Structure 1
Amino acid sequence: MIYMPNLDLQHIPKSPGIYKYFNKEGTIIYIGKSVNLFSRVNSYFNGKSKLNFAKKKMVEQIVRIETIITTNETESLILETTLIKQHKPKYNILMKDDKNHLYIKITDTTFPKILKTRIKTKSGVYFGPYISTFHVNNILKIIKKHFGYGCHDIHFFKEGGGYNLDKYLFKNNGIISRPHTSSTPFNNDGGEKIEDTVINEYNQQIKNIKKFLKGNFQDVISSIEEKMKSHAKELNFEEAQKAKEQIESIKSLEINQNVRDAVQGDYNVIHYLEKFDSFYIGLIEIRDSKITGFNNFEISAKLGETKEELLKIFIENRYISDREEKIKCSYILPIKLDDILEDIKIELPKKGAKLELLQLTYKNIYEYAYKKYLNSLSTKGFTKATMKNLLKTLGYNQINKSLIFECNDISHLAGSHTVASRSIIENGKSNTSKYKKFKIKTLESGKIDDFGSMKEIMERRLKEIEKSGIIPDLIIIDGGKGQLNSVIKIIHRFKSEHSNKETLELINNLQVVSIAKREEELFLPGESEPILLDKESLELRLIQKIRDEAHRFAITFNRDKRIKAMKTNLLESLPGFGPITRKKILKTYGSVNKLSGIKKQELEKILNKNQIQTLEDHGII
């Protein structure tokens, strides 16, 4: 080790090794490595190298330099990595990763559970890892639906050589379900013994699920495709979209199988993304021809490093990490890197499975980065300036001192329980206290008519404006040019039916825009061509935010109405609950929904024990 109190640069050895820069407080601010310490360290001080602003600021703080000589570059890299982890210098890059190892686990208990997990242990069978939590959740829903298995914790206890049910196996939206078998081995209280034949049937289903997760899923895809076509034929597009997403989730399972067939050996597949004011690196680990991990890293350039320098730092760190675990693998990269350690084997594929893996890595990073970007926006919130910029882009003016944007949305399930919602953004923030929900009154039950529903909502909104004398700065319509034209016709008709000057002036000042979902195109009244905002702009995110809020609010209201209707219908179908009893319940408690919070002693005042037991058996209380 060489101690240099006066930065005597001439005594630095011309050998491989690492160097440490200290500030006046004695803190290490940077650790680097080189095959020639003399050349590298002097390059910071001799004026021949053009240092960027960040490096100049660092050099100004250096008061002491220490070096450690090593026998070769690999040893330098190992020592550098170790010391950076130990000291965490201000100007060194520290890798912060998103360990996205998500697995489906089937336990090896008598009645196996199917679980979602990020931790692998020695017990059980694991499938994955999977890229997306969304896909895994979809896959678990598919398993439950097609194999009759509740993907949740299952609790059994051993008793006298047999197994008894300890708890309800699966609870979802108040509905209890159990593994589908040809026998019914237990009653509701779990007191009946489960026979060996049932255990065998149950485990056969588990074997089928394992086959499915290993890649035998064509039968399931065909079944879902049939349902998707059926939903589309009935114009039930929400359910058709869910079916399509299920198929996409199943196809995501094919990734590992394709890799196993096409790529032999151990690889680290690495891609990068410069986006959203940050730099990201994505990594797919392949071990023994199987994908064993997905990781994403967000990296901050401390000294203005180029993308090539950041990739090189990352790869060398990864090389040391793998070396410590005695893993020797090649690296699949999208670009060539100069001056990288000779021991690191690089491949630059132009076609085939390895190129597809690179593309998959890039897609994975982009999704990760975009989600982080959206989360940062939701945390920060939008500003009044964003709203003003959007109005300016659309050619509109600010109307109110307190800027108000609103959006309406329609929701139904195959035409039943059609409802609408209105979301509000005021001065950049969601104003949930002003959100509204509406029952659509003019449509026949079961009829699907989004235009008719929007007509009713807009007519009601225009009457509100007439009464209050207040209009929003912008009304956002969820839909394309057709929906916009429909709304404009409603506005014109309203104007033709009113003669009050103040009302007409208000309506004339209405500012409307529609957003089409597929390409996120914006349409203005009287304009044939759409406006396309930058996909990453705050203005587009603002419109998407208010639209998504209206959609979420409408769907929630629709679901609540359906659940309420289901419970009401259920009460009518229960034995022992005639019109008089039902009327008594509604008069006492207001609705069936409120029964779940009532104690038995209270219910006994108006119901007998058999009726209370019936309510318990059907999950109402």
Structure 2
Amino acid sequence: MLSTHKHLQAILERVPENPGIYQYFDKKGTVIYVGKAKNLKRRVHSYFNKNHDDSPKTRILVSKIADIKYTVVESEMDALLLENNLIKKYKPRYNILLKDDKTYPSICVKREAFPRIFMTRKIVKDGSEYFGPYSSVPMVYTLLDLIKKLYPIRTCAHSLDKKSIENGNYQLCLYYHLKKCKAPCMGYQSEEEYDENIKQVKQILNGNLKQVEALLVEEMQEAAEKLAFEKAQECKDKLDLLENYRSKSYIANTNLSHLDVFSYDENEHSAFINYLNIANGAVVQTYTIEYKKQIETEEKESILASGIFEIRQTLKSRNRRILVPFIPSFEEKGVELVVPKRGDAKKLMDLSLRNVKQYKLDLLKQQEKLNPEQRSTSLMTKMKEDLHLKELPLHIECFDNSNIQGT
């Protein structure tokens, strides 16, 4: 039987130079690390050709490797997809850990006569339309509140088929008297009028405020020409609500649309990635995640690629243009990666960077509250790096030279 060293050496000799994924196993046969590479041979060999003196976690990982398996794929995107699936399946000890396992809420437009609109965390494949998911619950409530103010959407769970309405199966509820609903259950509102409202709601949920505003302006002008001033004022109030909502959103050039923005920051233990979703020049979604580093040799290009893949998959982004601070090891057919240098695109990247740095700072402050000694350690670690010291400066002497001149 071959020794572990000879066994690994034999595997290393036959690793190909193709893109793919590799898995490291310990003596018990447990997957302890999964990685991807554009060139498997170069990447896998890099673990065994270095001493990793400055990377203790990597050194420990290498010492525990008893077996290696690899899978060749067609492209980097295939490798990224397979790596992501294997990490989720095996949860290897030395892989970066995404500190987030939430189920994010979506907004559902129910498939039914006179559709209801509500927040949900459960996707039911019954033909209903889902918008999101949203990383911020307050954002969902803000949107739902805006929709309720703009349109009288029903909240009841009645089955509003034609026969039930004609038979008078239902009674007026409080929402009708509060002018929050036009009582389609009583036949007071036509399905055609209700569906027109739903179309406008979908435009808002897709971030297309300009189209909704154009429709409202047209309705307002028509009402004014017919001397229907109450209807015209109603349209004006809706336009004001939309403008108020828009003013709370960051607006870049309205020509910038269907765009993802990712920024990156890190410290010794974690990597942080911020995401902005841009529609019609406005930030319609924002999200920041933390990855816990398990080995020091994990490259930022690889971490950002994993973050882009994970976030786009979780938040169901289909945008074909992505702004990034540097080019990650990420490829997807039909998707363009751009590092912005100037203009509105650069402003969006700067906004994302401010968000990720603020998230990192807030997390540090939170940790320091729980562990006051951590602040001192963080300061000394920074001092060690800035002064190029070999060890933490545990003893510091200060001299005041302001009054010793000439002595």
Matched, 1:141 2:141: no
Say which SS state the counterpart of residue 14 (structure 2) adopts: coil
Corresponding residue for 2:166? 161
Q: Are the structure 2 counterparts of residues 223 and 85 from structure 1 closer, same or farther at C-alpha, using a change threshold of 3 Å? A: closer
Q: 2:32 aligns with which of 29, 32, 49?
A: 29
Q: Are the structure 2 counterparts of residues 203 and 43 from structure 1 closer, same or farther at C-alpha, using a change threshold of 3 Å? A: closer
**Greater share of residues in strand:** 1
Corresponding residue for 1:65? 67
Matched, 1:311 2:303: yes
Q: How far did 1:275 drift?
A: 7.6
Q: Say if 2:134 and 2:140, in contact at 8 Å, map to a contact too.
A: yes
Q: Deviations over 1:186-220 (max 9, x none)?
A: 9xxxxxx8245576666666566567664135888
Q: Which amino acid aligns with 1:68?
A: Y
Q: Deviations over 1:314-368 (max 9, x none)?
A: 168559979xx9x89454201245x766988531012345445545655665787
Say which SS state the counterpart of residue 141 (structure 1) adopts: helix
Q: Are the structure 2 counterparts of residues 10 and 368 from structure 1 closer, same or farther at C-alpha, using a change threshold of 3 Å? A: closer
Q: Are the structure 2 counterparts of residues 170 and 207 from structure 1 closer, same or farther at C-alpha, using a change threshold of 3 Å? A: same
Matched, 1:5 2:10: no
Q: Say if 2:96 and 2:294, in contact at 8 Å, map to a contact too.
A: yes
Corresponding residue for 2:261? 269
Aligned ranges 1:202-221 → 2 under 5 Å: 214-215=208-209, 216-217=212-213
Q: Are the structure 2 counterparts of residues 93 and 116 from structure 1 closer, same or farther at C-alpha, using a change threshold of 3 Å? A: same
Q: How far did 1:281 drift?
A: 1.8
Aligned ranges 1:420-499 → 2 under 5 Å: none
Q: Say if 1:111 and 1:202, in contact at 8 Å, map to a contact too.
A: yes
Q: Are the structure 2 counterparts of residues 85 and 34 from structure 1 closer, same or farther at C-alpha, using a change threshold of 3 Å? A: same
Q: Say if 2:249 and 2:282, in contact at 8 Å, map to a contact too.
A: no
Q: Are the structure 2 counterparts of residues 115 and 365 from structure 1 closer, same or farther at C-alpha, using a change threshold of 3 Å? A: farther
Q: Say if 2:321 and 2:337, in contact at 8 Å, map to a contact too.
A: yes
Corresponding residue for 1:348? 339
More deviation in 66-75 or 81-90? 66-75
Give the structure, 1 or 2, with the largest relative contact order (CA under 8 Å, sep 6 or more).
2
Q: Are the structure 2 counterparts of residues 34 and 273 from structure 1 closer, same or farther at C-alpha, using a change threshold of 3 Å? A: closer
Q: Say if 1:34 and 1:76, in contact at 8 Å, map to a contact too.
A: yes
Matched, 1:279 2:271: yes
Matched, 1:117 2:116: no
Q: How far did 1:111 drift?
A: 3.5
Q: How far did 1:29 drift?
A: 1.6
Q: Say if 1:107 and 1:114, in contact at 8 Å, map to a contact too.
A: yes
Distance 2:126 2:351 in 1: 29
Say which SS state the counterpart of residue 280 (structure 1) adopts: strand
Q: How far did 1:299 drift?
A: 0.7
Corresponding residue for 1:300? 292
Q: Which runs of 5+ in 2 are unaligned?
A: 218-232, 377-407
Q: Deviations over 1:587-608 (max 9, x none)?
A: xxxxxxxxxxxxxxxxxxxxxx
Distance 2:267 2:50 in 1: 33
Q: Are the structure 2 counterparts of residues 146 and 91 from structure 1 closer, same or farther at C-alpha, using a change threshold of 3 Å? A: closer
Q: Are the structure 2 counterparts of residues 76 and 178 from structure 1 closer, same or farther at C-alpha, using a change threshold of 3 Å? A: closer
Aligned ranges 1:194-209 → 2 under 5 Å: 194-196=186-188
Q: How far did 1:280 drift?
A: 2.3
Q: Deviations over 1:54-77 (max 9, x none)?
A: 112222323x23243637663655
Q: Which amino acid aligns with 1:262?
A: L
Q: How far did 1:270 drift?
A: 2.0
Q: How far did 1:39 drift?
A: 4.6
Q: Are the structure 2 counterparts of residues 55 and 306 from structure 1 closer, same or farther at C-alpha, using a change threshold of 3 Å? A: closer
Distance 1:72 1:225 in 2: 51
Q: Which amino acid aligns with 1:179?
A: K
Q: Say if 1:100 and 1:293, in contact at 8 Å, map to a contact too.
A: no
Distance 2:247 2:190 in 1: 32
Distance 1:316 1:225 in 2: 36
Q: How far did 1:250 drift?
A: 3.9
Q: Deviations over 1:231-254 (max 9, x none)?
A: xxxxxxxxxxxx9xx965444578
Aligned ranges 1:18-417 → 2 under 5 Å: 18-34=21-37, 37=40, 39-47=42-50, 50-62=53-65, 64-68=66-70, 70=72, 74=76, 79-95=82-98, 97=100, 102-107=105-110, 109-118=112-121, 119=123, 123-124=127-128, 132-145=136-149, 147=151, 149=152, 152-155=155-158, 159=164, 161-165=166-170, 168=173, 170=175, 177-179=178-180, 194-196=186-188, 214-215=208-209, 216-217=212-213, 223=237, 249-251=245-247, 261-263=255-257, 268-274=260-266, 278-284=270-276, 296-305=288-297, 308-314=300-306, 329-337=320-328, 345-359=336-350, 361-362=352-353
How many pairs were matched up? 340
Distance 1:204 1:361 in 2: 36
Identity %: 26
Distance 2:80 2:199 in 1: 48
Q: Are the structure 2 counterparts of residues 335 and 163 from structure 1 closer, same or farther at C-alpha, using a change threshold of 3 Å? A: farther
Q: Are the structure 2 counterparts of residues 276 and 28 from structure 1 closer, same or farther at C-alpha, using a change threshold of 3 Å? A: closer
Q: Are the structure 2 counterparts of residues 251 and 33 from structure 1 closer, same or farther at C-alpha, using a change threshold of 3 Å? A: same
Greater Rg over alpha carbons, structure? 1
Distance 2:263 2:172 in 1: 47
Q: Which amino acid aligns with 1:165?
A: Y
Q: How far did 1:21 drift?
A: 2.9
Q: Say if 1:156 and 1:164, in contact at 8 Å, map to a contact too.
A: no
Q: How far did 1:177 drift?
A: 3.4
Say which SS state the counterpart of residue 186 (structure 2) adopts: coil
Say which SS state the counterpart of residue 159 (structure 1) adopts: helix
Q: Which amino acid aligns with 2:14?
A: P
Distance 1:170 1:371 in 2: 42
Q: How far did 1:133 drift?
A: 3.0
Q: How far did 1:303 drift?
A: 0.6
